Structures are given as structure tokens and as C-alpha cells.
Amino acid sequence: MTTSAPTSTPATADGIELRLTGARAGYGPVEVLHGLDLVIPSGRVTALLGVNGAGKSTTLRVLAGLVPLRSGTLHWRGQAITKMSALDRARRGLMLVPDERAVFASLSVRDNLMVVAEATARPGSTPDITPALEAFPRLRERLAQRAGSMSGGERRMLALARALLARPSVLMVDELSLGLSPKVAAELFEWLGTVARGGTTVILADQYTDAALGLADLAYVLHRGERSFVGDPAELAHA
């Protein structure tokens, strides 16, 4: 698999991409995050680890604007975006690849890619899906295939390819390896590493702990919506 990374905007002077402070959020009467604090460095890979129900996915959805904060604040490169809509965050480069329903199952692979290419094309330019096909050559063979009929690994590739076309400055990926073979998962982790080396900030929530720790520059462990560890991934790898 050829790996190519999106072009990223420069990091901030203080090196901080996102700062989440005192975050409380949840669904209906259920509170999932209980005063969570996160500091995400620019141009690095941050891993969010923890068992099912720890709050990893909810944290990513809060950062993406899909789950509102009940209290707390979120700053992106020093700007308060707590009340910014999910659409505006995505348009500005804060991109979430969820653990499921990340592609339009009824559309072809080509149409899935064109939806993003057309929405993000610069004025006067022609929508171009070439970067996605260069990053994931397997998709070139599947352009006419309905996305819902592809394997789980291919759908994950398509979801990441769609995100790539949006030229994110922050790429958040939820449960990258869920349901995938070790070989396919390794390919996708390798691609994420290339993206990060190109300067894009990556936030990865995944239960494939060894691979996530091997890729990450910073690790958080969440437990019941609170932070139980933050620090060097090597400390967890050798624990």
C-alpha cells in the first residue's frame, strides 16, 4: 500500500493543538465524561486507550462537535470552539473517522470519494480523487463497487481515503483495527504513521493497544470517563 499524507497547516507556537478542560458530556440522562482534561500536541500521535465504556469514542465525538459539552471548554489552537458546530469544525480541518457508518454503503467507491472531493475542492479547481487512490491502490480496483459490499478492511480504507481528501489538520480515528485482520490493521497503522510524519495531528482511539502504543507519541488511559494515566507510551508498553 502506497502511503501519502495530507498537507497540514503549521503547528501553533506553544505546540498545543487542542485543549479540553473540565469536560462533562453524555447521552440523555447518562453522563459519560466526568470533568475530563486533555492536552493534544500539534503534529503528533495521541492515543486514547481504555476498555469499552471508558469514554474514548465519546471524547472523540466531543472534539468533533457531535456530542455537546454539558460543561467545560474546548480550545483549538488557542481559539475557543466549544460552541462551534460539527460542520464548521470539519470544514476547518477537524476530521473524525468513526468506528462504523463512516462510508455511504449504497454508493459506489467512486461516488463516496467524489462526495468529499467535490465538497472540498478549491474554487475554480476540478475535484480530484487521485490522492486517495495513490494512498490506497486497492480502492482503484473497487471504484465501481458498492461500498456496502466491500470487506471490513476495504471499508476502513475507504473511510480513511475520504478523510484524506478533506485535507485534515487534525485526523481522529475511532477503533481503527476493529474487526480487521492483523495484516490489514498493520497496513492502516502504517498509513497513520505516515500521515503524522507529514505534520497532521492524529488522535487514535483503539483497543489494539500494542500497535497504538507503538505509533503514539503521547498516551492517555481513560477509565469511566476520567483520566487515569497520561504520559509516555513506553511506560505503558513496559508495564
What is the mean pLDDT of the segment spanning 31-36? 98
Average pLDDT of the chain to the nearest whole number: 90
C-beta neighbour count of 168 within 10 angstroms = 25
Which neighbouring-strand residues pair with 230?
A: 220
Burial class (CB in 10 A: 0-12, 13-18, 19+), 27: exposed
Closest CA to 108 of 137, 153, 140, 152: 140
pLDDT interval class at 12 (50, 70, 90): low
pLDDT given for residue 133 in this prediction: 95
What is the mean pLDDT of the segment spanning 142-166? 93
pLDDT interval class at 13 (50, 70, 90): low
User: Which whole-number Å values give the CA distances from 144 to 56, 112, 118, 141, 160, in the listed order?
Assistant: 35, 10, 18, 8, 18
pLDDT given for residue 8 in this prediction: 41
Helix H segments across 18-165?
56-64, 86-91, 109-120, 130-135, 152-165
Please report the domains of the chain, with CATH numbers, ordered by start residue.
Answer: 16-99+169-231 (3.40.50.300)
Q: Mutual orientation of helices 109-120 and 152-165 as an angle, nearest 10°? A: 20
In the chain, the amino acid numbered 163 is: A
Closest CA to 130 of 97, 94, 161, 89: 161
Give the span between the Cα atoms of 127 and 67, in whole angstroms. Answer: 31
Asked if residues 226 and 50 have their Cβ atoms less than 8 Å apart, the reply is no
Model confidence pLDDT, tens digit, residues 84-115: 999 999 999 999 998 767 899 999 999 999 99
Model confidence pLDDT, tens digit, residues 48-91: 999 999 999 999 999 999 999 999 999 999 999 999 999 999 99
Closest CA to 64 of 154, 142, 163: 163
- For residue 54, the SS3 value is coil
Give the span between the Cα atoms of 74 and 238, in whole angstroms. Answer: 32
pLDDT given for residue 161 in this prediction: 94
Closest CA to 227 of 33, 5, 46, 45: 33
Distance, C-alpha 56 to centroid of its chain: 12
Helix H segments across 65-108?
86-91
